[in-house]
Structure 1
Amino acid sequence: MVDQMLDLVPEELGSGPGFVDKTFLEPAAGDGNFLLAILHRKLSAIEEQYPAGQWIRESLFALASIYGIELLEDNHQIAKEKMLAEFLQFHRRHGVRCYHRTHVYRAAAFLIDTNIVRGDTLTGLDPSGAPIQFSWWTRVEGDVSLVQRDLFTFNSLRGGAFDFTEYERYSPCRIEHVHREGKARG
């Protein structure tokens, strides 16, 4: 069923321009079946359409475009583990060193932890009662390897406009270094 549903949006998952950055949100992520299938399709398309030297960068941007919310703690953890395993398997299959101390591993884990969150979609709150926050990752114009991170709340999506102005901005950085979280000065 997951594949049949994703077959309805082929351009967003690999056949259309800008597919890597097309955003997906699973508001009831469960143990990650949809998230995993989306990532798998994006990685397959990256492998087919990009030179090998760009796979790490583009696969990290693919991770940055996939969001999920899950209420149950065990499902949330499983979903994140599946996403990381899929990402690492793709790169290890191609001879990329991806272990817990590499930037690739740390960046992937950070993106997944940031984008796959635990909370209640109906209320827009996390388990502590705070608003669910996401990071919006955008490529920096003029340098496709840099990313700009801006925070927004899930509930701002319901109003039709992101609430970027309420939060501190982060400094642009290479996508492989997002786990370092450098904040902008001033």
Structure 2
Amino acid sequence: MTQTIAEEVLVKSRLRVKAHGEVFTPRHMVDQMLDLVRKDLEESPGFVDKTVLEPAAGDGNFLVVVLQRKLHAIERRFPRERWAEESLFALASIYAIELLEDNHADAQAAMLDVFLAFHTGHTIACDIDTDLAKAARFLIDANVVRGNTLTGLTPSGDEVVFSWWNRDPADHGGVIREPFTFNSLRADAPAPDLFAMFQEPVRYAPCRIDHVHEEVKAHDQ
């Protein structure tokens, strides 16, 4: 019998399964799981900013579906002139950690592809030189990081650092960036390094969400 539906790749190699427990979730299961939180992701007030954390991102199969659902909801619920801005806030709400280098790169690339395809499909300029594309790439790099969820550390031994991207109440479309460590979210977080405790935290000036890639530091630093 000729097979007409391409099978998803759920395992890259037995070695990776043995070493890392790597088995990918099929798309139909991703959809079923996200259907359980459809209201939060697509329908509730403030759905764009509802955060999602994928602690073992793999090649991004969960991440791209979350992003797709948010983008489609934005298309339905916001006027066209808000799509670019809201889509960046949607990206800013999606966080992930992935241990393996190739998966991490694939996950980031898949997220960017979905984002750009949405805008090009609606004839919204998002060439590589646009602020929209630069901001999207920056947010993905900042939110989808390579590290070990169990330790909260990067491959180089540094803390995994994320940022909250809070809307600026004084500026429609503005964002206030607040960095934090992943381990700070854990009830069983290890004691912080004494040197790190006395380090002045990085502070950023409020800016427009489509200029977040410029990383303007607060004036008093």
TM-score (norm 2): 0.81
Greater Cα radius of gyration, structure 1 or 2? 2
1:159 aligns to what?
A: 187
SS of equivalent residue, structure 1 residue 106? helix
Cα displacement (A) at 1:160: 9.0
**Contact between 1:11 and 1:17, CA under 8 Å: does it hold in 2?**
no
Cα RMSD between the aligned structures? 1.6
1:134 aligns to what?
A: 162
Cα displacement (A) at 1:98: 1.0
1:181 aligns to what?
A: 215
Work out the CA distance in 1 between the residues paired with 2:181 and 2:99. Answer: 16
Work out the CA distance in 2 between the residues paired with 1:7 and 1:25. Answer: 16
Work out the CA distance in 1 between the residues paired with 2:182 and 2:106. Answer: 22
What stretches of structure 1 of length at least 5 have no aligned partner?
none
What stretches of structure 2 of length at least 5 have no aligned partner?
1-28, 190-196
Q: Quote the sequence identity (%).
A: 61
Matches within 5 A, 1:1-186: 1-159=29-187, 167-186=201-220
- For CA contacts below 8 A with separation 6 or more, give which structure has more relative contact order: 1
Moved more, 134-143 or 70-79: 134-143
Work out the CA distance in 2 between the residues paired with 1:11 and 1:107. Answer: 27
Cα displacement (A) at 1:159: 3.3
Work out the CA distance in 2 between the residues paired with 1:114 and 1:30. Answer: 17
Work out the CA distance in 2 between the residues paired with 1:68 and 1:42. Answer: 16
